[in-house]
Amino acid sequence: MHRYFLHTTGQYDKQAQIPIESIEAFINKKVVNEQISSSCQQSLVGAIKKLYLLQLDQSLRLDYLLPKRSETSYLNSSPKKRCDVY
Protein backbone atom coordinates (compact mmCIF):
# COMPACT_ATOMS: atom_id res chain seq x y z
CA MET A 1 0.00 0.00 0.00
CA HIS A 2 2.82 2.39 0.91
CA ARG A 3 4.51 2.22 -2.50
CA TYR A 4 1.19 2.40 -4.35
CA PHE A 5 0.15 5.46 -2.37
CA LEU A 6 3.50 7.20 -3.02
CA HIS A 7 3.36 6.24 -6.69
CA THR A 8 -0.12 7.69 -7.17
CA THR A 9 0.68 10.94 -5.37
CA GLY A 10 3.10 11.86 -8.11
CA GLN A 11 6.12 14.04 -7.73
CA TYR A 12 6.77 13.48 -4.01
CA ASP A 13 9.78 11.35 -3.14
CA LYS A 14 8.97 11.03 0.53
CA GLN A 15 5.78 10.49 2.44
CA ALA A 16 6.36 13.55 4.63
CA GLN A 17 6.31 15.79 1.55
CA ILE A 18 2.79 14.83 0.47
CA PRO A 19 0.34 17.66 1.21
CA ILE A 20 -3.06 16.88 2.70
CA GLU A 21 -4.69 18.03 -0.55
CA SER A 22 -2.99 15.19 -2.43
CA ILE A 23 -4.19 12.68 0.14
CA GLU A 24 -7.73 14.03 -0.24
CA ALA A 25 -7.48 13.82 -4.03
CA PHE A 26 -6.20 10.23 -3.82
CA ILE A 27 -9.14 9.12 -1.66
CA ASN A 28 -11.71 11.10 -3.66
CA LYS A 29 -10.43 9.57 -6.91
CA LYS A 30 -10.94 6.10 -5.48
CA VAL A 31 -14.47 6.95 -4.32
CA VAL A 32 -15.67 8.81 -7.42
CA ASN A 33 -13.80 7.27 -10.34
CA GLU A 34 -13.38 3.72 -9.10
CA GLN A 35 -16.60 3.59 -7.06
CA ILE A 36 -15.12 1.77 -4.08
CA SER A 37 -17.48 0.60 -1.35
CA SER A 38 -18.00 2.42 1.95
CA SER A 39 -16.11 -0.27 3.87
CA CYS A 40 -13.21 -0.02 1.43
CA GLN A 41 -13.18 3.77 1.84
CA GLN A 42 -13.07 3.33 5.63
CA SER A 43 -10.18 0.87 5.31
CA LEU A 44 -8.31 3.18 2.96
CA VAL A 45 -8.61 6.21 5.27
CA GLY A 46 -7.64 4.07 8.26
CA ALA A 47 -4.63 2.62 6.47
CA ILE A 48 -3.32 6.04 5.47
CA LYS A 49 -3.78 7.37 9.01
CA LYS A 50 -1.96 4.33 10.44
CA LEU A 51 0.83 4.66 7.87
CA TYR A 52 1.51 8.24 8.92
CA LEU A 53 1.26 7.42 12.60
CA LEU A 54 3.66 4.46 12.49
CA GLN A 55 6.20 5.82 10.02
CA LEU A 56 6.23 9.54 10.79
CA ASP A 57 4.71 9.63 14.27
CA GLN A 58 2.21 12.08 12.79
CA SER A 59 -1.50 11.94 13.49
CA LEU A 60 -3.56 12.92 10.45
CA ARG A 61 -7.12 14.15 10.86
CA LEU A 62 -8.85 12.47 7.95
CA ASP A 63 -12.14 11.49 9.54
CA TYR A 64 -13.97 13.99 7.35
CA LEU A 65 -13.03 11.73 4.40
CA LEU A 66 -14.91 8.78 5.88
CA PRO A 67 -18.16 7.86 4.13
CA LYS A 68 -21.33 9.39 5.48
CA ARG A 69 -24.06 7.09 6.73
CA SER A 70 -26.96 6.95 4.33
CA GLU A 71 -30.53 5.78 4.33
CA THR A 72 -29.94 3.80 1.12
CA SER A 73 -31.28 0.28 1.01
CA TYR A 74 -28.52 -2.11 0.06
CA LEU A 75 -30.99 -4.24 -1.86
CA ASN A 76 -31.64 -1.42 -4.31
CA SER A 77 -28.18 0.17 -4.46
CA SER A 78 -25.82 -0.28 -7.37
CA PRO A 79 -22.98 -2.76 -6.90
CA LYS A 80 -19.64 -1.38 -5.77
CA LYS A 81 -16.15 -2.57 -6.58
CA ARG A 82 -14.28 -4.88 -4.27
CA CYS A 83 -11.74 -3.35 -1.95
CA ASP A 84 -8.66 -3.98 -4.07
CA VAL A 85 -7.20 -0.48 -3.92
CA TYR A 86 -3.86 -1.65 -2.65
User: pLDDT for 65-83, tens place per residue?
Assistant: 998 876 555 555 666 666 6
Long-range contacts of 31-39 (CB under 8 A, 24+ apart): 31/67, 34/81, 34/85, 35/80, 35/81, 36/80, 36/81, 36/83, 36/85, 37/80, 37/81, 37/82, 37/83, 38/67, 38/80, 39/83
Q: What is the pLDDT of residues 38-61, one digit of tens each?
A: 999 999 999 999 989 998 999 999
Q: What is the mean pLDDT of residues 20-24?
A: 90
